[in-house]
């Protein structure tokens, strides 16, 4: 089971976190038993806006996250 924490706080939402979330949710429909998504209000990394959006894949913290990067990290762990 891969656990993804995604920050949906205001800073991260402003710079695309919700797009990442949407794609993750689609992936979860394909792998319902292997992917757990948790929304977090703020991961305290957005003091510097360049760090947003922030996503954690298991223990791997990703700053300035982009959809493709997050999805490939998740897929590496699912397969
Ligand atoms: S809003 Fe995402 S880390 Fe603060």
| Rg of the chain over all Cα atoms, to the nearest angstrom | 12
Determine if ligand 1 sits within 6 Å of the CB of residue 65: no
**Per-residue tokens: 7:** 């920050």
User: Residue 38 Cα, ligand 1 centroid: separation in angstroms?
Assistant: 14
User: So what CATH class is 2-78?
Assistant: alpha beta
Percent of the chain topping pLDDT 70: 100
Q: What is the pLDDT of residues 19-53, one digit of tens each?
A: 999 999 999 999 999 999 999 999 999 999 999 99
pLDDT the model gives residue 20:
98
pLDDT of 79 over the 90 cut: no
Number of C-alpha atoms within 13 angstroms, CB side, residue 16? 17
Averaged confidence pLDDT in the chain: 97
Instruction: Kindly report the pTM of this predicted structure.
Output: 0.94
User: Residue 32 Cα, ligand 1 centroid: separation in angstroms?
Assistant: 26
The residue-averaged pLDDT of 5-32 equals 97
Domain boundaries, the chain: 2-78
Mutating to test ligand 1, I would choose from 45, 61, 64 the residue with most ligand atoms within 8 A of its C-beta, which is: 45
């Amino acid at each position: 089971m891969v656990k993804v924490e995604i920050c949906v706080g205001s800073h991260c939402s402003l710079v695309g976190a919700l797009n990442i979330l949407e794609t993750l949710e689609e992936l979860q429909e394909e792998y319902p038993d292997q992917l757990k998504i948790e929304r977090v209000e703020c991961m305290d990394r957005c003091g510097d806006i360049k760090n947003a959006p922030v996503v954690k894949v298991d223990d791997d913290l990703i700053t300035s996250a982009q959809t493709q990067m997050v999805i490939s990290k998740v897929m590496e762990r699912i397969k």
